[in-house]
Structure formats: structure tokens, C-alpha cells
């Protein structure tokens, strides 16, 4: 009997229907690389779309950037010189490419309001927003998740009704009204919390600026007096944001839990004699951890960009107040720089939640 064409003996051929050694591994690697490439492409396209939107906004706003630079009393020659220096005499596609290149280098131009580079201003104000949003998200998670779990476990009870009312009020109550009432009651009348701002005058500038987040910086410096003062100022706006966060998180947690509690494996666990506490907190809650990560990430992103009114009411020097002041002053470099930063954070949080989703649930990968 002659060997098959190519000189390979019959014993070296794999049985019919069996994948040759190494081919399955390479195929899995290709699929993984394709998925990673898809994620990267989606990220790039999203960021590119964000840059397109911000570029168009900067061009259609009824604000002349040249006049903001040279002033209204400038001569025509000064106006023309600034117009050319800003690159506004070039075609739109060239202006856009220049804009993208500047953004990729972290150059958002110079702020008219502060006179500083916008990138430096963002590095100064953004940690304050991160600190406030992080504490608000922690409050929302620590209260919202247990509330949603208990409401689902006690479906139809008074606890469930209270949880649903709390979520409804959190969605519908104007945040500026809650903020003003909170300041009036807890600061003006009771004196339980600090007033507007991040710190009292006596502690202003006393803590070394390491991270830009005063609670963390004062803890690193072991200045517990400054820590208590900073905490008294942040706790009220953080609780306000935390309330809106827990309204969303508790509602979604309840929805996820109701779906899990009606599943067959929960019935099987109960039939086996497992305690209700173990069934709910050990099995059902663990199975909703993956989608809950996405909910928490989206909630955190919403607090980053949605804390504008809170920062204004509490005179919190974060990115929300910075963008608002810049918009009122017609400072489009600052407005667009802040918008790009917030949008990039949203994209990053979505990417992070997607990666965590795939890591915790291999079936999704």
C-alpha cells in the first residue's frame, strides 16, 4: 500500500472529524484577537465621533474665538493676524486634523477665563469631581444594592413599596431643590456639616497637594483635623449624589434579582434545604454581579458629568463648575476640553465594564 500523496504515512493522519493538534489553539487565539481588535476599533471610532462632535460644536457656536482673544477694540490687522494664528483661514478638514492632533497631545488650547492652558486647569479641577463622584457612588452602592436585594426578596411587601418610592423620588426630585434644602437644614439650622466649598478657610492650602483629592491627601499627611473638615464639607453633596445613584442602582438590582429568584436553580437550592439567606445572598446576588458592574460603572460616569448643579450649589471647584463658568464667559477652549475629558471617561468606563464582564463571565468572551 502506497503512502498518501505528500509522503505522509497513514498513521500520521488525524482520525476523521478530529482537529489537528495546535489548530484548535490557534483558532481560539484568532477569535480572541478578532474580538480584541473589534473592541479597539469600537473605542477608536467612539473617540473619533466624540472629537467630531466637539469640533462641530466649536464651529457652530455663535461665539467668535478671535474676538475672545484680541478683544473687541482690536484693529482689523490684529484681528486678521489672530485669525491666521488660530488656523481659522485653513480648510475645515485641515482644521479638524490639527484639532485631533492637538487633543491627542493633550493640548486643548489656552483658557480665556484663567489665562492658563486648559489641560493644566483640568488637572487642577478634575480630582475634586472624581472625589465627589466616587464617594457618591460608594454611598449609592452600599445602600442601593442591599435595598434592591431586600425589595426583590420581599416582593409586594411594605419594604418593597418603600424601596420603589425611594427610587421614584430619586428620579423625579430636582437636585437643586434638594441641595438648597440640605444646606438650609443641615448647615444653616443644625450646623451638622460644613458649608459650601471643599475646606474651611483655616485649612485652605495647609495639606500638601499630592492627588488633588483632599480626603486622600489629608490622610496621607496624617492631618486628621483637615480630614474631618474636608469630610464635613463633602458629605452633604456626596449624599445628594449618592441618593440619585442609589435610586438607579436599587431599581436595577431589584430587577436583576427578581429574574434570578424565579430561576430553576433557586428552586432547586430551596428544595435542597438551603437557608433563604444563603439562597439570596450567596447564589442569586452572586449571579447578578456581572450585569451589576455595568450599572455601577454607568452610574459613576453619570455622576462625573451630571454633578454640574451640585457643584454650583455647593461651590465645589470641580469640572462641572469649571465648564459652566467657561460657558458663561464664552471660553470655548475650556468648554470643549472639559467635554472631551468627560466623554473619554465615559468611553473608558464602558470599556472597563466590558472587560470586567468578559473576565467574570467567560461565556461572554
Please give the tally of structural domains in the chain.
2
Range of the domain at 73: 33-104
pLDDT in tens, 25-76: 567 667 767 776 777 777 788 888 888 888 887 777 777 677 766 667 777 7
Q: Are residues 159 and 237 in the same domain?
A: yes
**Structural domain includes residue 249:** yes
**Structural domain includes residue 220:** yes
**Structural domain includes residue 17:** no
pLDDT bracket for residue 227 (50, 70, 90):
very high
**Structural domain includes residue 16:** no
Q: Are residues 272 and 356 in the same domain?
A: yes
Q: Are residues 161 and 297 in the same domain?
A: yes
Q: Are residues 209 and 338 in the same domain?
A: yes
Residue that finishes a domain, picked among 54, 70, 104? 104
Give whole-number Cα distances, 159 to 146, 163, 168, 185, 315, in Å.
Answer: 12, 6, 14, 27, 36
pLDDT confidence of residue 136:
92
Residue that finishes a domain, picked among 44, 69, 104? 104
Measured distance CA(85)–CA(109) in Å, rounded: 12
Per the DSSP assignment, residues forming a β-bridge with 117 are 110
Q: Which of 258, 247, 249 is nearest to 166 (CA)?
A: 247
pLDDT confidence of residue 134:
93
**Structural domain includes residue 216:** yes
Mean pLDDT value across residues 238-253: 91
pLDDT in tens, 273-286: 888 888 888 888 88
- Compute the mean pLDDT over every residue in the chain, rounded to the nearest whole number: 81
- Would you say the C-alpha torsion 202, 206, 211, 217 has a positive or negative sign? negative
Q: Are residues 93 and 229 in the same domain?
A: no
- Helix, strand, coil shares of the chain as percentages rounded to 5? 75, 0, 25
Q: Are residues 98 and 231 in the same domain?
A: no
Q: Are residues 50 and 140 in the same domain?
A: no
**Structural domain includes residue 266:** yes
pLDDT in tens, 174-206: 888 888 898 999 998 988 988 888 888 888 778
**Structural domain includes residue 21:** no
Query: Over 60: is that where the pLDDT of 8 sits?
Result: no
Q: Are residues 273 and 315 in the same domain?
A: yes
Q: Are residues 123 and 240 in the same domain?
A: yes
Give whole-number Cα distances, 34 to 146, 222, 308, in Å.
Answer: 39, 49, 39
pLDDT in tens, 321-362: 898 888 887 788 888 888 888 888 888 887 887 777 777 665
Q: Are residues 48 and 154 in the same domain?
A: no
Q: Cell numbers for 237, please give them.
A: 453633596
Q: Highest mean pLDDT: which of 60-69, 229-238, 280-289, 306-315?
A: 229-238
Measured distance CA(177)–CA(4) in Å, rounded: 84
pLDDT in tens, 135-172: 999 999 999 999 999 999 888 888 888 888 888 888 78
SS3 category, 117 = strand
Q: Are residues 54 and 156 in the same domain?
A: no
Q: Write the CATH number for 280.
A: 1.10.3720.10
Q: Are residues 189 and 90 in the same domain?
A: no
pLDDT confidence of residue 1:
46
Percent of the chain with pLDDT over 90: 18
Q: How many CB atoms lie within 10 A of CB 62?
A: 5
Measured distance CA(105)–CA(11) in Å, rounded: 60
**Structural domain includes residue 113:** no
Amino acid at each position: 500500500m502506497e503512502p498518501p500523496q505528500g509522503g505522509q504515512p497513514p498513521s500520521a493522519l488525524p482520525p476523521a472529524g478530529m482537529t489537528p493538534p495546535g489548530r484548535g489553539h490557534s483558532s481560539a487565539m484568532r477569535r480572541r484577537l478578532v474580538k480584541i481588535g473589534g473592541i479597539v476599533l469600537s473605542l477608536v471610532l467612539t473617540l473619533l465621533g466624540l472629537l467630531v462632535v466637539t469640533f462641530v460644536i466649536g464651529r457652530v457656536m455663535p461665539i467668535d474665538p478671535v474676538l475672545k482673544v484680541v478683544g473687541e477694540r482690536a484693529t482689523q490687522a490684529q484681528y486678521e493676524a489672530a485669525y491666521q494664528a488660530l488656523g481659522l483661514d485653513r480648510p475645515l478638514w485641515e482644521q479638524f486634523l490639527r484639532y485631533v492632533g492637538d487633543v491627542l497631545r493633550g493640548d486643548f488650547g489656552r483658557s480665556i477665563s484663567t489665562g492658563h492652558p486648559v489641560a493644566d486647569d483640568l488637572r487642577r479641577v478634575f480630582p475634586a469631581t472624581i472625589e465627589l463622584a466616587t464617594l457618591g457612588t460608594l454611598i449609592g452602592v452600599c445602600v442601593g444594592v442591599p435595598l434592591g436585594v431586600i425589595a426583590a426578596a420581599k416582593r409586594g411587601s411594605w419594604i418593597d413599596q418603600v424601596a420603589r418610592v425611594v427610587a421614584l423620588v430619586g428620579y423625579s426630585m430636582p437636585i437643586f431643590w434638594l441641595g438648597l434644602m440640605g444646606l438650609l437644614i443641615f448647615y444653616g439650622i443644625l450646623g451638622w456639616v460644613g458649608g459650601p466649598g471643599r475646606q474651611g478657610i483655616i485649612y485652605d492650602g495647609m495639606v500638601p497637594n499630592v492627588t488633588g483629592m483632599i480626603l486622600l491627601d489629608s490622610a496621607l499627611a496624617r492631618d486628621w483635623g483637615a480630614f474631618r473638615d474636608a469630610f464635613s464639607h463633602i458629605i452633604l453633596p456626596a449624599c445628594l449624589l449618592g441618593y440619585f445613584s442609589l435610586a438607579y442602582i436599587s431599581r436595577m438590582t431589584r430587577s436583576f434579582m427578581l429574574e434570578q429568584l424565579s430561576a430553576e436553580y433557586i428552586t432547586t437550592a430551596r428544595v435542597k434545604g438551603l437557608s433563604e439567606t444563603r439562597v439570596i445572598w450567596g447564589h442569586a446576588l452572586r449571579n447578578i454581579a456581572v450585569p451589576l458592574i455595568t450599572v455601577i460603572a454607568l452610574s459613576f460616569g453619570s455622576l462625573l458629568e451630571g454633578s454640574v448643579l451640585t457643584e454650583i450649589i455647593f461651590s465645589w471647584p470641580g469640572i462641572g463648575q469649571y465648564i459652566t463658568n467657561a460657558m458663561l464667559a464664552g471660553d470655548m477652549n475650556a468648554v470643549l476640553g472639559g467635554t472631551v475629558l468627560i466623554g473619554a471617561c465615559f468611553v473608558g468606563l464602558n470599556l472597563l465594564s466590558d472587560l470586567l464582564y468578559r473576565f467574570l463571565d467567560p461565556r461572554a468572551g
